[in-house]
């Protein structure tokens, strides 16, 4: 039976999690935000507040909208607090073992008809569902970053996902005012299956000395009309996430064209993960970003 989703739990208050909580609260859902510590939840709430204030400044929403939406988001330090949720969305780091542990731990706290969803950008929905007690009520709801601005959500059914879960999830995403693209459960789905190999190829272009960072990004911005160059975009996504997705593609499809560029591996090993660590293909520590190659 389809669930009428009214309350949403979000596991992870980072970049994706706070964005999902933000759009859910603005759409009228009551939201419980969970993370490993109270500090992380607090930081997520502060980001939401700041992003909504920006929307007010741009006249995208009213001050009343902001206040009432913020009032709909509550911290949930323990999984038990999610017991009343109709839908729980996991937005943890793109590592399968981390996600599987969350699912096996959280299931005991959820009501039997609650839908469990993952925001994974690349990992098999069928495989993740197998670590839960409700594979038929499990689905991939993949939001794009930054969530408040991006119009698309990918919906991915696992082999066991039932029709009621799919229909409830579709209705939920529509209420958020987002457009749905339905993807089959293949590595990296649609957007990242196309986008990440392009970014990886841009890194190979840099690695092989075909062009420097600036030349590559300028070429794609002005020559292909991309709003952001591929290396700038990689820094925005996080180079660790880019590498994780390429590894999933390479392992899942066993095709050498998905081999992660050695330069991407080197940057991740150095801890230069892009904007979040202040260094990636650009150095963000000064007045304006400076290419690192």
Decide: 241 and 123 in contact? Cβ < 8 Å: no
Residue 121 bears catalytic tag = yes
Instruction: Say which of 7, 18, 34, 121 is annotated catalytic.
Output: 121
What is the length of the chain? 293
Residue 212 bears catalytic tag = no
Instruction: Say which of 109, 119, 168, 192 is annotated catalytic.
Output: 192
Residue 192 bears catalytic tag = yes
Residue 154 bears catalytic tag = yes
Neighbouring residues of 167: CB distance < 8 A, sequence distance ≥ 6? 2
Instruction: Say which of 142, 169, 183, 200 is annotated catalytic.
Output: 142
Instruction: Say which of 154, 168, 200, 232 is annotated catalytic.
Output: 154
Q: Give catalytic residues, as residue numbers.
A: 121, 142, 154, 192
């Amino acid at each position: 039976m389809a669930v009428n989703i009214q309350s949403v739990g979000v596991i992870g208050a980072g970049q994706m999690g706070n964005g999902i909580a933000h759009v859910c609260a603005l759409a009228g859902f009551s939201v419980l935000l969970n993370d490993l510590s109270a500090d992380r939840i607090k930081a997520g709430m502060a980001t939401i507040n700041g992003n909504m204030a920006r929307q007010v400044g741009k006249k995208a929403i009213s001050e009343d909208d902001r206040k009432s939406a913020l009032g709909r988001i509550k911290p949930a330090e323990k999984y038990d607090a999610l017991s009343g949720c109709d839908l729980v969305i996991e937005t943890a780091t793109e590592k399968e073992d981390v996600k599987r542990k969350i699912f096996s731990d959280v299931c005991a706290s959820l009501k039997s008809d609650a839908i469990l969803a993952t925001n994974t950008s690349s990992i098999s929905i069928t495989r993740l569902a197998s670590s839960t007690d409700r594979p038929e009520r499990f689905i991939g709801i993949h939001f794009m970053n930054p969530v408040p601005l991006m119009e698309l959500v990918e919906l991915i059914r696992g082999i066991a996902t039932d029709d009621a879960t799919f229909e409830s999830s579709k209705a939920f995403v529509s209420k958020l005012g987002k457009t749905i693209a339905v993807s089959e459960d293949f590595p990296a789905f649609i957007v990242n299956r196309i986008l990440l190999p392009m970014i990886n190829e841009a890194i190979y272009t840099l690695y092989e000395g075909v062009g420097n960072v600036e030349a590559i990004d300028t070429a794609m911005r002005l020559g292909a009309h991309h709003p952001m160059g591929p290396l700038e975009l990689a820094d925005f996504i996080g180079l660790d996430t880019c590498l994780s997705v390429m590894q999933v593609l390479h392992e899942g499809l066993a095709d050498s064209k998905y081999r992660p560029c050695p330069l991407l591996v080197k940057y991740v090993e150095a801890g230069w993960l892009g904007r979040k660590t202040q260094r990636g293909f650009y150095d963000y520590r000064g007045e304006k970003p400076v290419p690192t190659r």
